[in-house]
Amino acid sequence: MILSIVYILVGVVFVIKGADVMTDGAVALAQRMNIPQMVIGLTIVALGTSMPELFVSMMSAIKGTPDLAVGNVVGSNIFNTFLIVGVAAMVAPMAILKSTVRKDIPIALVASVVLLLFCLDSDINRLDAAILFAGLLAYIGYNLYIAKKHPAQESNEGRKDYSVVKSVLFIILGLAGLVLGSNLFVDGASDIAAKLGVSEAVIGLTVVAGGTSLPELATSVVAARKGQSAIAMGNVIGSNVYNILMIVGVTGLIKPMQIQGITSVDFGMMVLGMVLLWLFSRTKYKVERWEGACLTIVFLVYMVRLVSEAV
């Protein structure tokens, strides 16, 4: 059991660090190729922040534990919407951009409902996955179109002045870290599930989802304290969209998945989170402290129910 916990902790470190290093290398290489920053931000950086969830889910599906794969996505979105937004809003009310309320939250809600409908037959086949992946391409294309119509001022802030060789080396090292970390994480989580007699779905919804969502939690709380919550909120919602469209889409194309342990309550919680967030944010384009407390309480009640049923 101790060794399995060590596997999970080491896996988290490798996955998160691997995603950072790979993203830095990809951004530097893109800048060397004179790709505009808005394109880099909407594609490479956005994809990079979802790499931990993607690789953990892919390895889970490939190793024959699809409940871990889908549970990771559903659980991460529940963590993002209820816990991350909730805790950050309690630290300081979270401002939300109008574009996030009008575009990103509705898209995240639609994606959540589509995933729920696809999973009603307890199966994600390649057609389902292809539809989700097509949605991802449409989402990226739409964002690029909007960004092109309203271009932001180019800035050298955060520019990575790496050589081509160093950039490629970073990408390779990052991918290696992602693969190694994902393997360790999945092996450790699966072993704990077996030894505790807990389903892989519950481990995916809790341990795996929590581990891959920790960076977003830390980032959002710090951003809220610094008064930069609008950007943090956009990143959280964008992460939810990528989690469903990219992770389930790519993973399902590689390996169709039979889902057994994830219930309609779990999928319903994912949808409910987006509905509540949309309702809260439509009032004053802000999530107040009491609304954050409501989100956090709902999350804690859900977690208590999930764990109590698993024991």
Residue 148 makes CB contacts below 8 A (sequence gap 6+) with 38
Dist. CA 166–CA 110, nearest whole Å: 40
Among residues 57, 107, 100, which one has the least CA distance to residue 254? Answer: 57
pTM for the structure as a whole: 0.80
Tokens of 202: 């519950």
Residue found under tokens 């919804």: 205
* C-alpha distances out from residue 199 to 177, 193, 202, Å: 27, 6, 5
Strands (E), the chain: 94-95, 123-124, 257-258, 286-287
Q: What is the CA radius of gyration of the chain?
A: 19
Per-residue pLDDT tens, the chain, 311 aa: give them.
Answer: 788 888 888 888 888 788 788 778 887 887 787 776 656 655 676 677 677 778 888 888 888 888 888 888 999 899 989 998 998 889 888 888 887 888 889 999 999 999 999 999 989 999 999 999 999 999 888 887 877 776 555 555 555 678 888 988 988 898 888 888 878 877 887 788 778 787 778 888 887 787 777 766 776 777 777 777 776 777 788 888 988 999 999 999 998 988 888 888 999 999 999 999 999 988 888 899 999 999 999 999 999 998 888 76
